[in-house]
């Protein structure tokens, strides 16, 4: 009785006690008839026999299972105790454990396994389990190459079934059914050692109406939580095991997709991915054919981030939502109510010989091919990709409809590090909206609007034939783009930066069957060239001569450039450009006095209101020194006047110049075996002229940093020097500039009427840090006179044509 459960022992003792008490009562009272006495003794005997059978069959069952487990299953099986009632058909195994083959690791375990059999139906050769319950199971599915850790069980029981079937004589069919199957609070883990993968789900609850010999369908409800991260999934399904058809209704809430990280390792060199999934879908389909599936419902991917590292995204978005009315590849139907993308972000970076995406996905094609051809390796990302590819391959030949496509508050970032200095631009915020995209509609309208950072805006209207991408109408307008924004290109390919100019571009395209009829209008208002940079490695072009030829006497570049031909070989008509150049050759010399006067007036206004600083310098040009002296004299002559100076600091670009200079200086000292104390002014000039792409300098950076994940010269310089040193040099530069500026006022004892506010970090429109000067009290007569003359110029030809545009730019 040692293995008998406590509750069974108590139950048995209670029966014996009751029968003893009744027997004693009736015998003492003399009221026990002989027949009743016989029946009572017989009943008591039967009860005792039943109790004894139950008491002994339970430990015997446990013994037999643990004794012959290896022979019949190939696995070790243990339990704490067993309870078997052959009269009611109830079986219970407590703390059941099934081990891995030839291992002490557990394959599956459960707090309890209970089975209820319908004993009366056995007489009719019907084997029915009325209920099978697995309580708190814990299981591990392990994959090694193409092998799974339960393959031996499948092979063993399949061979046993085949041998039994071959030896059996024809007889009446045996009916087997399981009415109810339950899994309560389970936890299941999937382990794959090659990728590697270690993923699990928890609190798994499944309840099925079971398997029945006279039906072809299996139905069940399920729910579980993600083991890694957050999220839950629940739903129900029905499978026809004969036809292999299925129906699925699923509800997914914020389910963590971190598992995909483990599969991305196969097709990327590095990277990090996070996202979660929401879905309410109804699906019906067939396991026989992937295309035979129909989806309806809502699908959303939230908090998507993918990039180099957890806090360095290449792409992200807050939410991608697909509202599916009917998606049925086999029936050629792709009907969506809406597709919306909220706050998408994408960053593309160009390096000297590569890009951020190529670095991340270098050899990705061969990695994908290897993963796809490998029969012993499963990749969930590739499987999902192939499945989507199969679902969408007939899209353009099908009946498709999208009521609304929208992208809200996008942010597209482009950085080019292949130049002598970094070029950066953003499209932010970006909005794209399209309504009623259908195959049968003649035209589909798409509206595109974005801000351009640091300055500018763009609007695009597109009307396209959904059946023919070479049939469209396009109108676009780019406005308020500062020419100085493109200085990294201007410096690299001409060695001349721009410090003034506003670009406006607009046009319209009409394309039919690939044939183009387009008008394009380029306007650059008040372009101006700064002094040439003498850095080695920069291309030198005669920019001043070119500007003299292409810039009209109103200080404007204004060209109409029609384009015809077809999309594959467009023809640019430059007649307007050529005529303007020829006109400038003959007309502009005559108007030279006018242009000089305008230029002088512009300079007078500009220097009265702003003072530009060249990058990484605190020295002033003679004209600037002369003007500051005039300003000091103005304060001496006007005691009621004062000025406030607002430093507008291009901190991003200034720090980049400091970073590159200090890194080149460190390389110069090392290469020439010099110390900091012996660093001379001539040495400084040499370092200044050294190209940031100098081969020796790049080799030095690579040796000092020794990090393959640093792709840009700037990142290597930052690693070499540290940000603290650059910040300190930048702070020192601004303080020195302030002292140089104030020194002219101190000489005349008016520095107490000059206030310099805290600097503001900006991206200046002219591409240079500058001091913005604000007058209080009275204004200098020269400034007022210059304003009056400039207004007169703007009201007269040739500048009056662009008066409104200049006013809009100032606004």
- Kindly state the average pLDDT of the residues 594-615: 66
106-154 per-position pLDDT tens digit: 999 999 999 998 877 776 777 788 899 999 999 998 887 777 888 888 7
645-679 per-position pLDDT tens digit: 899 999 999 999 999 999 999 999 999 999 989 99
168-218 per-position pLDDT tens digit: 555 566 677 888 999 999 999 988 877 777 889 999 999 998 888 788 889
Question: Which pair of tokens denotes residue 602?
Answer: 């512009």
Map residue 337 onto helix, strand or coil: strand
Pairing outcome for strands 556-560 and 515-529: antiparallel
Higher pLDDT, 162 or 322: 322
608-625 per-position pLDDT tens digit: 677 888 999 988 888 788
Closest-CA residue to 450 (of 458, 442, 460): 458
Q: How far apart are CA 70 and CA 75, in angstroms?
A: 5
- Kindly state the average pLDDT of the residues 259-277: 83
Q: Considering the entire predicted model, what is its pTM? A: 0.80
pLDDT at residue 126, rounded to an integer: 74
**DSSP sequence for 424-476:** EEEEEEEEEEEEEEETT-S-EEEEEEEEEESS-EEEEEEEEETTEEEEEEEEE
446-504 per-position pLDDT tens digit: 999 999 999 999 999 999 988 788 899 999 999 999 999 999 999 999 999 998 889 99
Question: Do 775 and 493 form a contact (C-beta atoms < 8 A)?
Answer: no
Q: How far apart are CA 614 and CA 387, in angstroms?
A: 57
Tell me which H or E stretch contains 220: strand 217-226
Q: How far apart are CA 349 and CA 647, in angstroms?
A: 31
Question: Do 110 and 77 form a contact (C-beta atoms < 8 A)?
Answer: no
pLDDT category at 223 given cuts 50, 70, 90 is very high
Closest-CA residue to 297 (of 253, 327, 329, 261): 327
Closest-CA residue to 267 (of 382, 369, 367): 367
Is the backbone peptide bond immediately before 454 cis, with ω within 30 degrees of 0?
A: yes
Closest-CA residue to 278 (of 214, 321, 333, 324): 321
What is the DSSP-derived secondary structure letter of residue 533? P
pLDDT category at 53 given cuts 50, 70, 90 is low
Q: Which residue has the tokens 């200098």?
A: 780
pLDDT at residue 3, rounded to an integer: 40
Q: How far apart are CA 24 and CA 31, in angstroms?
A: 11
Question: Which pair of tokens denotes residue 85?
Answer: 């009632």
Cα 734 to chain centroid distance, Å, stands at 39
Closest-CA residue to 345 (of 322, 308, 314): 314
pLDDT at residue 530, rounded to an integer: 87
Question: Do 184 and 134 form a contact (C-beta atoms < 8 A)?
Answer: yes
Question: Do 533 and 495 form a contact (C-beta atoms < 8 A)?
Answer: yes
Q: What percent of the chain has pLDDT over 70?
A: 79
Residue 73 has pLDDT above 60, yes or no: yes
Q: Which residue has the tokens 């009269």?
A: 87
781-792 per-position pLDDT tens digit: 665 555 455 454
pLDDT at residue 647, rounded to an integer: 93
């Amino acid at each position: 009785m040692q293995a008998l459960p406590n509750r069974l022992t108590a139950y048995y003792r209670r029966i014996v006690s009751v029968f003893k008490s009744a027997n004693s009562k009736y015998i003492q009272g003399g009221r026990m008839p002989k027949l009743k006495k016989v029946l009572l003794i017989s009943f008591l005997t039967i009860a005792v026999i039943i109790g004894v059978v139950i008491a002994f069959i339970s430990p015997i069952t446990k013994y037999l299972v643990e004794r012959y487990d290896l022979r019949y299953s190939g696995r070790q099986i243990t339990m704490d105790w067993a309870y078997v009632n052959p009269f009611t058909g109830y079986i219970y195994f407590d703390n059941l454990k099934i081990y891995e083959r030839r291992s002490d690791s557990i394959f599956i375990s459960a707090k309890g396994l209970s089975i209820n059999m319908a004993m009366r139906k056995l007489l009719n050769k019907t084997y029915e389990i009325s209920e099978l319950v697995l309580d708190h199971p814990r299981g591990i599915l392990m994959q090694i190459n193409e092998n799974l850790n339960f393959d031996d069980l499948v092979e063993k029981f399949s061979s046993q079934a085949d041998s039994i079937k071959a030896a059996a004589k024809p007889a009446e069919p045996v009916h087997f059914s399981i009415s109810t199957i339950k899994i309560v609070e389970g936890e299941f883990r999937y382990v794959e050692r090659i990728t590697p993968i270690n993923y699990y789900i928890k609190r798994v609850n499944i309840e099925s109406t079971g398997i029945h010999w006279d039906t072809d369908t299996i139905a069940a409800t399920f729910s579980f939580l993600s083991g890694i991260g957050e999220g839950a999934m629940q739903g129900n399904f029905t499978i026809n095991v004969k036809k292999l058809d299925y129906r699925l209704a699923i509800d997914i809430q914020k389910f963590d997709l971190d598992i995909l990280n483990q599969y991305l390792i196969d097709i990327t060199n590095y990277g990090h991915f996070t996202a979660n999934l929401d879905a309410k879908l109804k699906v019906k389909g067939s396991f026989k054919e992937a295309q035979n599936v129909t989806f309806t419902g809502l699908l959303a991917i939230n908090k998507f981030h993918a990039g180099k590292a957890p806090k360095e995204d290449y792409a992200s978005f807050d939410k991608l939502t697909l509202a599916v009315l009917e998606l049925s590849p086999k029936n050629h139907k792709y009907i969506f109510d809406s597709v919306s993308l909220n706050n998408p972000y994408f960053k593309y970076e160009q390096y000297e010989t590569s890009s951020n995406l190529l670095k991340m996905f270098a050899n990705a094609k061969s990695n994908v091919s290897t993963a796809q051809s490998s029969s012993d390796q499963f990749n969930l990302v590739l499987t999902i990709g192939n499945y989507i590819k199969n679902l969408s391959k007939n899209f353009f030949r099908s009946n498709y409809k999208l009521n609304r496509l929208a992208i809200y508050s996008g942010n597209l970032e482009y950085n080019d590090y292949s130049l002598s200095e970094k070029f950066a631009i953003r499209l932010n915020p970006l909005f794209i909206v399209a309504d009623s995209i259908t195959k049968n509609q003649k035209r589909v309208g798409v509206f595109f609007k974005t801000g351009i950072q640091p300055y500018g805006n763009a609007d695009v209207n597109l009307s396209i034939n959904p059946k023919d991408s070479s049939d469209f109408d396009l109108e676009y307008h780019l406005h308020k783009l500062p020419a100085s924004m493109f200085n990294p290109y201007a410096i690299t390919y001409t060695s001349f930066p721009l410090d003034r100019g506003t670009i406006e571009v607009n046009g319209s395209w009409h394309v039919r069957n690939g044939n183009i009829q387009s008008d394009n209008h380029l306007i650059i208002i008040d372009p101006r060239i700064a002094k040439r940079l003498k850095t080695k490695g920069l291309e030198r072009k005669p920019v001043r001569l070119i500007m003299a030829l292409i810039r009209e006497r109103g200080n404007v570049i204004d060209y109409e450039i029609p384009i015809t031909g077809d999309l594959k070989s467009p023809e640019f008509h430059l007649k307007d450009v050529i005529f303007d150049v020829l006109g400038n050759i003959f007309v502009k010399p005559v108007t030279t006095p006018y242009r000089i006067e305008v230029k002088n007036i512009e300079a007078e206004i500009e220097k009265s209101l702003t003072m530009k600083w060249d990058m990484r310098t605190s020295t002033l040009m003679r004209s600037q020194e002369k003007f500051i002296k005039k300003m000091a004299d103005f304060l001496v002559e006007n005691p009621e006047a004062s000025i406030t100076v607002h430093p507008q600091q291009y901190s991003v670009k200034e720090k980049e110049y400091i970073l590159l200079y200090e890194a080149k200086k460190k390389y110069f000292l090392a290469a020439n075996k010099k110390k900091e104390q012996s660093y001379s002014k001539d040495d400084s000039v040499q370092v200044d002229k050294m190209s940031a792409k100098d081969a020796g300098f790049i080799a030095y950076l690579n040796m000092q940093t020794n990090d393959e994940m640093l792709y840009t010269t700037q990142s290597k310089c930052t690693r070499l020097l540290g940000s603290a040193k650059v910040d300190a040099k930048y702070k020192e530069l601004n303080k020195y500039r302030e002292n140089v500026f104030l020194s002219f006022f101190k000489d005349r004892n008016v520095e107490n009427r000059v206030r310099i506010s805290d600097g503001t970090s900006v991206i200046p429109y002219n591409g240079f840090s500058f001091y913005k000067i604000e007058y209080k009290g009275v204004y200098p007569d020269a400034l007022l006179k210059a304003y009056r003359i400039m207004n007169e110029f703007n009201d007269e030809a040739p500048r009056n044509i662009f008066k409104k545009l200049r006013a809009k730019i100032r606004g």
